[in-house]
Amino acid sequence: MKKVISLPTQILIALILGIICGLLVGPAIEPIKILGDIFLRLIQMSVVVMIMGAVIEAVGSLNPKELGSLGWKMAVWFLGGTLFAACIAIFFGFILKPGVGVQMDLSTNLAVAPINELTLYETILNFFPTNIIKSMAEANMIHVIIFSVLFGLGISILSVEKDVSTVKKMVNEFNQIIVKMITIIMKMAPLGIFALLSWVTGTIGLSVMIPLSKFLITMALTTLIYLVMWILLTASICKVNPLLLARKLTGMTIMAFTTTSSAITLPIKMRDQETLLGVSKRVSGLVGPLGMVMNSNGLAIFLALAAITLSQMYGIEISVSQAFSIVLLSTLATLGTVAVPGGGLVALAIVIPAVGLPIESVAILAGIDWFSGMFRTVLNVDADATIAMILAKSENELDDEILNREI
Protein backbone atom coordinates (compact mmCIF):
# COMPACT_ATOMS: atom_id res chain seq x y z
CA MET A 1 0.00 0.00 0.00
CA LYS A 2 1.39 3.36 -1.04
CA LYS A 3 2.00 5.72 1.88
CA VAL A 4 0.51 9.18 1.38
CA ILE A 5 2.55 12.13 2.64
CA SER A 6 0.49 14.17 5.10
CA LEU A 7 -0.41 17.78 4.29
CA PRO A 8 1.71 19.28 7.13
CA THR A 9 4.72 17.29 5.88
CA GLN A 10 4.10 18.44 2.31
CA ILE A 11 3.96 22.04 3.53
CA LEU A 12 7.19 21.66 5.54
CA ILE A 13 8.94 20.24 2.47
CA ALA A 14 7.55 23.12 0.39
CA LEU A 15 8.92 25.59 2.97
CA ILE A 16 12.44 24.16 2.73
CA LEU A 17 12.39 23.90 -1.07
CA GLY A 18 10.99 27.43 -1.34
CA ILE A 19 13.86 28.90 0.70
CA ILE A 20 16.45 26.96 -1.31
CA CYS A 21 14.89 27.94 -4.63
CA GLY A 22 14.65 31.60 -3.60
CA LEU A 23 18.31 31.70 -2.60
CA LEU A 24 19.41 30.06 -5.85
CA VAL A 25 17.28 32.12 -8.25
CA GLY A 26 17.20 35.46 -6.43
CA PRO A 27 14.93 38.41 -7.33
CA ALA A 28 14.13 36.90 -10.74
CA ILE A 29 11.78 34.47 -8.98
CA GLU A 30 9.29 37.23 -8.15
CA PRO A 31 6.69 36.21 -10.82
CA ILE A 32 6.07 32.94 -8.95
CA LYS A 33 4.50 34.97 -6.13
CA ILE A 34 1.18 35.01 -8.01
CA LEU A 35 0.64 31.34 -7.11
CA GLY A 36 0.99 32.14 -3.42
CA ASP A 37 -1.26 35.18 -3.72
CA ILE A 38 -3.97 33.09 -5.40
CA PHE A 39 -3.80 30.54 -2.57
CA LEU A 40 -4.07 33.24 0.10
CA ARG A 41 -6.97 34.94 -1.69
CA LEU A 42 -8.92 31.69 -1.93
CA ILE A 43 -8.45 31.10 1.79
CA GLN A 44 -9.32 34.68 2.71
CA MET A 45 -12.41 34.44 0.50
CA SER A 46 -13.64 31.53 2.60
CA VAL A 47 -12.54 32.58 6.08
CA VAL A 48 -15.12 35.35 6.60
CA VAL A 49 -18.12 33.11 5.97
CA MET A 50 -16.50 30.23 7.85
CA ILE A 51 -16.00 32.36 10.95
CA MET A 52 -19.51 33.76 10.71
CA GLY A 53 -21.08 30.33 10.40
CA ALA A 54 -18.96 28.72 13.11
CA VAL A 55 -19.63 31.46 15.68
CA ILE A 56 -23.35 31.61 14.92
CA GLU A 57 -23.64 27.83 15.26
CA ALA A 58 -21.56 27.70 18.46
CA VAL A 59 -23.32 30.60 20.22
CA GLY A 60 -26.74 29.61 18.92
CA SER A 61 -26.38 26.08 20.31
CA LEU A 62 -25.99 27.39 23.88
CA ASN A 63 -28.73 28.39 26.24
CA PRO A 64 -28.20 31.86 27.78
CA LYS A 65 -26.97 30.44 31.11
CA GLU A 66 -24.35 28.22 29.44
CA LEU A 67 -23.23 31.07 27.22
CA GLY A 68 -22.59 33.31 30.21
CA SER A 69 -20.60 30.66 32.07
CA LEU A 70 -18.44 29.59 29.14
CA GLY A 71 -18.05 33.14 27.87
CA TRP A 72 -16.67 34.48 31.15
CA LYS A 73 -14.24 31.60 31.56
CA MET A 74 -13.06 32.06 27.99
CA ALA A 75 -12.53 35.81 28.50
CA VAL A 76 -10.50 35.23 31.69
CA TRP A 77 -8.19 32.69 30.02
CA PHE A 78 -7.76 34.85 26.92
CA LEU A 79 -6.96 38.01 28.88
CA GLY A 80 -4.79 36.29 31.49
CA GLY A 81 -2.75 34.41 28.90
CA THR A 82 -2.15 37.51 26.79
CA LEU A 83 -1.13 39.64 29.78
CA PHE A 84 1.31 36.99 30.97
CA ALA A 85 2.75 36.67 27.45
CA ALA A 86 3.50 40.40 27.37
CA CYS A 87 5.08 40.21 30.85
CA ILE A 88 7.39 37.32 29.95
CA ALA A 89 8.45 39.18 26.78
CA ILE A 90 9.36 42.24 28.85
CA PHE A 91 11.36 40.00 31.21
CA PHE A 92 13.41 38.36 28.45
CA GLY A 93 13.82 41.70 26.67
CA PHE A 94 15.50 43.16 29.76
CA ILE A 95 17.56 40.03 30.46
CA LEU A 96 18.81 39.25 26.92
CA LYS A 97 18.90 42.86 25.63
CA PRO A 98 18.32 42.06 21.93
CA GLY A 99 18.50 45.74 20.91
CA VAL A 100 21.86 46.49 22.53
CA GLY A 101 24.66 46.72 19.95
CA VAL A 102 22.24 46.81 17.01
CA GLN A 103 22.53 50.10 15.14
CA MET A 104 19.61 50.80 12.82
CA ASP A 105 18.82 54.13 11.18
CA LEU A 106 15.45 55.09 9.74
CA SER A 107 17.31 56.63 6.82
CA THR A 108 17.95 53.08 5.57
CA ASN A 109 14.48 53.40 4.02
CA LEU A 110 12.93 50.20 5.27
CA ALA A 111 9.64 51.88 4.52
CA VAL A 112 6.19 50.66 5.37
CA ALA A 113 2.82 51.90 4.29
CA PRO A 114 1.66 54.91 6.30
CA ILE A 115 -0.47 53.99 9.30
CA ASN A 116 -3.14 56.33 10.58
CA GLU A 117 -3.05 56.84 14.33
CA LEU A 118 -6.48 56.58 15.97
CA THR A 119 -7.73 58.11 19.19
CA LEU A 120 -9.02 55.83 21.96
CA TYR A 121 -12.57 56.92 21.10
CA GLU A 122 -12.10 56.03 17.42
CA THR A 123 -10.44 52.72 18.28
CA ILE A 124 -13.36 51.60 20.47
CA LEU A 125 -15.99 52.90 18.04
CA ASN A 126 -14.35 51.07 15.13
CA PHE A 127 -15.00 47.74 16.86
CA PHE A 128 -18.71 48.07 15.99
CA PRO A 129 -20.08 47.76 12.44
CA THR A 130 -22.62 49.98 10.74
CA ASN A 131 -23.09 47.79 7.66
CA ILE A 132 -22.29 44.09 8.02
CA ILE A 133 -22.28 43.53 4.24
CA LYS A 134 -19.62 46.23 3.87
CA SER A 135 -17.69 44.71 6.78
CA MET A 136 -17.77 41.27 5.14
CA ALA A 137 -16.59 42.73 1.84
CA GLU A 138 -13.67 44.37 3.65
CA ALA A 139 -12.98 41.16 5.64
CA ASN A 140 -13.25 43.10 8.92
CA MET A 141 -13.01 40.16 11.33
CA ILE A 142 -14.01 42.11 14.44
CA HIS A 143 -17.23 43.32 12.82
CA VAL A 144 -18.02 39.84 11.56
CA ILE A 145 -17.41 38.33 15.01
CA ILE A 146 -19.60 40.91 16.78
CA PHE A 147 -22.44 40.45 14.29
CA SER A 148 -22.15 36.65 14.50
CA VAL A 149 -22.16 36.62 18.31
CA LEU A 150 -25.27 38.83 18.37
CA PHE A 151 -26.96 36.70 15.69
CA GLY A 152 -26.12 33.55 17.64
CA LEU A 153 -27.42 35.16 20.83
CA GLY A 154 -30.66 35.88 19.03
CA ILE A 155 -30.99 32.20 18.09
CA SER A 156 -30.04 31.11 21.61
CA ILE A 157 -32.58 33.37 23.33
CA LEU A 158 -35.33 32.69 20.79
CA SER A 159 -34.86 28.92 21.21
CA VAL A 160 -36.26 29.26 24.74
CA GLU A 161 -39.49 30.70 23.32
CA LYS A 162 -39.98 28.68 20.11
CA ASP A 163 -38.55 25.94 17.89
CA VAL A 164 -35.61 27.20 15.82
CA SER A 165 -34.26 23.80 14.81
CA THR A 166 -34.71 24.61 11.10
CA VAL A 167 -32.43 27.64 11.38
CA LYS A 168 -29.85 25.66 13.37
CA LYS A 169 -29.87 22.87 10.78
CA MET A 170 -29.44 25.36 7.94
CA VAL A 171 -26.45 26.99 9.67
CA ASN A 172 -24.90 23.58 10.40
CA GLU A 173 -25.19 22.41 6.78
CA PHE A 174 -23.86 25.75 5.53
CA ASN A 175 -20.80 25.28 7.76
CA GLN A 176 -20.23 21.77 6.43
CA ILE A 177 -20.22 23.08 2.86
CA ILE A 178 -17.73 25.84 3.72
CA VAL A 179 -15.42 23.39 5.50
CA LYS A 180 -15.53 21.08 2.48
CA MET A 181 -14.72 23.99 0.18
CA ILE A 182 -11.73 24.97 2.32
CA THR A 183 -10.55 21.35 2.35
CA ILE A 184 -10.42 21.50 -1.44
CA ILE A 185 -8.54 24.81 -1.40
CA MET A 186 -6.02 23.47 1.14
CA LYS A 187 -4.85 20.87 -1.36
CA MET A 188 -2.91 23.63 -3.10
CA ALA A 189 -1.28 24.78 0.17
CA PRO A 190 2.15 23.22 -0.57
CA LEU A 191 2.32 24.99 -3.94
CA GLY A 192 1.19 28.28 -2.41
CA ILE A 193 3.70 28.08 0.44
CA PHE A 194 6.51 27.15 -1.95
CA ALA A 195 5.72 30.19 -4.11
CA LEU A 196 5.52 32.61 -1.18
CA LEU A 197 8.72 31.42 0.51
CA SER A 198 10.59 31.44 -2.81
CA TRP A 199 9.49 35.04 -3.36
CA VAL A 200 10.33 36.22 0.18
CA THR A 201 13.77 34.61 0.16
CA GLY A 202 14.54 35.57 -3.45
CA THR A 203 13.54 39.25 -3.23
CA ILE A 204 14.50 40.08 0.36
CA GLY A 205 17.14 37.44 1.05
CA LEU A 206 18.22 36.00 4.36
CA SER A 207 20.55 38.96 4.89
CA VAL A 208 17.61 40.96 6.22
CA MET A 209 17.70 38.73 9.29
CA ILE A 210 21.34 39.41 10.18
CA PRO A 211 21.06 42.92 11.77
CA LEU A 212 18.11 41.81 13.90
CA SER A 213 19.11 38.20 14.50
CA LYS A 214 19.25 38.80 18.25
CA PHE A 215 15.64 39.97 18.17
CA LEU A 216 14.55 36.89 16.24
CA ILE A 217 16.49 34.54 18.53
CA THR A 218 15.01 36.19 21.62
CA MET A 219 11.54 36.01 20.07
CA ALA A 220 11.98 32.32 19.27
CA LEU A 221 13.32 31.52 22.75
CA THR A 222 10.55 33.43 24.52
CA THR A 223 7.90 31.79 22.35
CA LEU A 224 9.33 28.31 22.98
CA ILE A 225 9.50 28.78 26.76
CA TYR A 226 5.98 30.19 26.90
CA LEU A 227 4.62 27.40 24.70
CA VAL A 228 6.25 24.72 26.88
CA MET A 229 4.64 26.35 29.92
CA TRP A 230 1.24 26.28 28.21
CA ILE A 231 1.62 22.62 27.26
CA LEU A 232 2.67 21.62 30.79
CA LEU A 233 -0.20 23.59 32.36
CA THR A 234 -2.75 22.13 29.95
CA ALA A 235 -1.40 18.60 30.36
CA SER A 236 -1.69 18.94 34.13
CA ILE A 237 -5.27 20.23 34.02
CA CYS A 238 -6.48 17.81 31.33
CA LYS A 239 -4.56 14.76 32.62
CA VAL A 240 -2.63 13.95 29.45
CA ASN A 241 1.02 13.16 28.70
CA PRO A 242 2.64 16.49 27.71
CA LEU A 243 4.76 14.78 25.04
CA LEU A 244 1.64 13.26 23.48
CA LEU A 245 -0.07 16.65 23.59
CA ALA A 246 2.91 18.27 21.89
CA ARG A 247 2.80 15.66 19.11
CA LYS A 248 -0.92 16.27 18.57
CA LEU A 249 -0.28 19.99 18.16
CA THR A 250 2.26 19.35 15.38
CA GLY A 251 -0.13 19.66 12.42
CA MET A 252 -1.51 23.08 13.32
CA THR A 253 1.96 24.19 14.47
CA ILE A 254 3.53 23.48 11.09
CA MET A 255 0.66 25.18 9.26
CA ALA A 256 0.90 28.24 11.50
CA PHE A 257 4.68 28.42 11.14
CA THR A 258 4.64 28.23 7.35
CA THR A 259 1.64 30.48 6.61
CA THR A 260 2.10 33.03 9.45
CA SER A 261 -1.69 33.29 9.49
CA SER A 262 -4.08 32.24 12.24
CA ALA A 263 -6.97 32.63 9.80
CA ILE A 264 -5.52 30.21 7.27
CA THR A 265 -4.68 27.74 10.06
CA LEU A 266 -8.18 27.94 11.56
CA PRO A 267 -9.72 24.99 9.66
CA ILE A 268 -6.89 22.63 10.67
CA LYS A 269 -6.92 23.93 14.26
CA MET A 270 -10.65 23.32 14.67
CA ARG A 271 -10.41 19.90 13.06
CA ASP A 272 -7.53 18.79 15.29
CA GLN A 273 -9.17 20.20 18.41
CA GLU A 274 -12.09 17.85 17.85
CA THR A 275 -10.42 14.78 16.31
CA LEU A 276 -7.08 14.70 18.16
CA LEU A 277 -7.55 16.73 21.34
CA GLY A 278 -11.06 15.56 22.24
CA VAL A 279 -12.66 19.02 22.44
CA SER A 280 -16.42 19.02 21.85
CA LYS A 281 -17.72 20.61 18.67
CA ARG A 282 -19.64 23.17 20.73
CA VAL A 283 -16.57 24.44 22.60
CA SER A 284 -14.31 24.17 19.54
CA GLY A 285 -16.75 26.13 17.38
CA LEU A 286 -16.90 28.95 19.90
CA VAL A 287 -13.28 29.13 21.12
CA GLY A 288 -11.65 28.52 17.71
CA PRO A 289 -12.89 31.59 15.79
CA LEU A 290 -13.06 33.88 18.83
CA GLY A 291 -9.57 32.84 19.93
CA MET A 292 -8.21 33.66 16.49
CA VAL A 293 -9.26 37.29 16.93
CA MET A 294 -9.18 37.80 20.70
CA ASN A 295 -6.37 35.53 21.97
CA SER A 296 -3.05 36.52 20.42
CA ASN A 297 -0.38 35.47 22.93
CA GLY A 298 2.28 35.36 20.23
CA LEU A 299 1.43 38.85 19.01
CA ALA A 300 1.60 40.19 22.59
CA ILE A 301 5.12 38.75 22.93
CA PHE A 302 6.13 40.30 19.60
CA LEU A 303 4.74 43.74 20.48
CA ALA A 304 6.27 43.92 23.96
CA LEU A 305 9.63 42.52 22.84
CA ALA A 306 9.71 44.81 19.79
CA ALA A 307 9.06 47.87 21.98
CA ILE A 308 11.92 46.89 24.32
CA THR A 309 14.25 46.10 21.40
CA LEU A 310 13.54 49.36 19.58
CA SER A 311 14.00 51.37 22.77
CA GLN A 312 17.39 49.69 23.30
CA MET A 313 18.39 50.49 19.71
CA TYR A 314 17.62 54.16 20.33
CA GLY A 315 19.22 54.14 23.79
CA ILE A 316 15.95 54.89 25.61
CA GLU A 317 15.74 53.74 29.24
CA ILE A 318 12.44 52.04 30.09
CA SER A 319 10.89 52.97 33.43
CA VAL A 320 8.60 50.71 35.46
CA SER A 321 5.57 52.77 34.45
CA GLN A 322 6.58 52.55 30.78
CA ALA A 323 7.02 48.78 31.09
CA PHE A 324 3.51 48.58 32.56
CA SER A 325 2.18 50.68 29.67
CA ILE A 326 3.88 48.37 27.18
CA VAL A 327 2.28 45.31 28.80
CA LEU A 328 -1.16 46.92 28.82
CA LEU A 329 -0.94 48.30 25.29
CA SER A 330 0.50 45.04 23.93
CA THR A 331 -2.52 43.23 25.38
CA LEU A 332 -5.09 45.71 24.11
CA ALA A 333 -3.47 46.00 20.67
CA THR A 334 -3.98 42.28 20.09
CA LEU A 335 -7.74 42.70 20.37
CA GLY A 336 -9.19 43.13 16.94
CA THR A 337 -5.96 42.61 15.04
CA VAL A 338 -6.92 40.91 11.80
CA ALA A 339 -5.46 37.40 11.85
CA VAL A 340 -3.62 37.59 8.54
CA PRO A 341 0.06 38.08 7.68
CA GLY A 342 1.32 41.63 8.30
CA GLY A 343 -1.15 42.61 11.02
CA GLY A 344 1.62 42.78 13.61
CA LEU A 345 3.07 45.98 12.13
CA VAL A 346 -0.25 47.79 12.50
CA ALA A 347 -0.55 46.67 16.12
CA LEU A 348 3.07 47.70 16.75
CA ALA A 349 2.19 51.27 15.78
CA ILE A 350 -0.13 51.36 18.79
CA VAL A 351 2.54 50.23 21.26
CA ILE A 352 5.78 52.00 20.35
CA PRO A 353 4.64 55.56 21.23
CA ALA A 354 4.52 54.34 24.85
CA VAL A 355 8.33 54.41 24.94
CA GLY A 356 8.68 57.71 23.08
CA LEU A 357 9.56 56.20 19.71
CA PRO A 358 8.40 57.75 16.43
CA ILE A 359 5.76 55.88 14.46
CA GLU A 360 8.27 55.54 11.58
CA SER A 361 10.39 53.15 13.66
CA VAL A 362 7.95 50.42 12.64
CA ALA A 363 10.03 50.32 9.45
CA ILE A 364 12.98 48.80 11.30
CA LEU A 365 11.10 45.55 11.91
CA ALA A 366 9.15 45.54 8.64
CA GLY A 367 11.83 43.57 6.80
CA ILE A 368 11.66 40.63 9.21
CA ASP A 369 7.92 40.72 9.89
CA TRP A 370 7.40 37.49 7.94
CA PHE A 371 10.00 35.64 10.01
CA SER A 372 8.84 36.93 13.39
CA GLY A 373 5.29 36.16 12.26
CA MET A 374 6.20 32.49 12.07
CA PHE A 375 6.92 32.36 15.81
CA ARG A 376 4.02 34.47 17.00
CA THR A 377 1.46 32.64 14.86
CA VAL A 378 2.56 29.28 16.27
CA LEU A 379 1.91 30.50 19.80
CA ASN A 380 -1.38 32.18 18.85
CA VAL A 381 -2.71 28.96 17.35
CA ASP A 382 -1.39 26.50 19.94
CA ALA A 383 -2.57 28.67 22.84
CA ASP A 384 -6.07 28.76 21.32
CA ALA A 385 -6.12 24.96 21.10
CA THR A 386 -4.89 24.41 24.66
CA ILE A 387 -7.37 26.93 26.08
CA ALA A 388 -10.13 25.13 24.18
CA MET A 389 -9.03 21.93 25.93
CA ILE A 390 -9.06 23.58 29.36
CA LEU A 391 -12.51 25.08 28.79
CA ALA A 392 -13.85 21.78 27.45
CA LYS A 393 -12.52 20.06 30.58
CA SER A 394 -14.26 22.61 32.80
CA GLU A 395 -17.52 22.00 30.90
CA ASN A 396 -17.14 18.19 31.04
CA GLU A 397 -16.94 18.19 27.25
CA LEU A 398 -13.41 16.83 26.83
CA ASP A 399 -13.25 13.30 25.41
CA ASP A 400 -10.44 11.67 27.41
CA GLU A 401 -10.39 8.63 25.14
CA ILE A 402 -9.68 10.72 22.04
CA LEU A 403 -7.23 12.93 23.93
CA ASN A 404 -5.12 10.06 25.27
CA ARG A 405 -5.21 8.03 22.05
CA GLU A 406 -1.74 7.60 20.54
CA ILE A 407 -1.07 8.91 17.04
| pTM of the complete model | 0.69
pLDDT tens column, 359-378: 667 766 766 777 788 898 99
pLDDT higher than threshold 90 for residue 388: yes
pLDDT tens column, 198-239: 887 787 666 545 557 889 899 999 999 999 999 999 999 999
pLDDT tens column, 66-83: 667 788 898 899 989 999
Residue 149 pLDDT: 84
Question: 175 with 50: CB under 8 angstroms?
Answer: yes
334/272: higher pLDDT: 272
Residue 279 pLDDT: 94
In single-letter form, the type of residue at position 169 comes to: K
Q: Cα-flanking dihedrals φ and ψ of residue 288, to 5°?
A: -55, -60
On average, the pLDDT of the chain sits at 82
What number is the average pLDDT over the span 275-301?
88
| Ordered domains of the chain (ranges, CATH) | 7-403 (1.10.3860.10)
Least confident residue range of 158-162, 191-195, 368-372, 391-395: 368-372
pLDDT tens column, 94-113: 999 888 875 555 444 444 44
Length of the chain: 407
pLDDT higher than threshold 60 for residue 379: yes
pLDDT tens column, 237-254: 999 999 999 999 999 999
DSSP 71-97: HHHHHHHHHHHHHHHHHHHHHHHHHH-
pLDDT higher than threshold 80 for residue 272: yes
Write b or e for each residue in 40-49: b if 16 or more Cβ atoms lie within 10 A of its Cβ, otherwise e.
bebbeebbbb
Cα distance between residue 306 and residue 300, in whole Å = 10
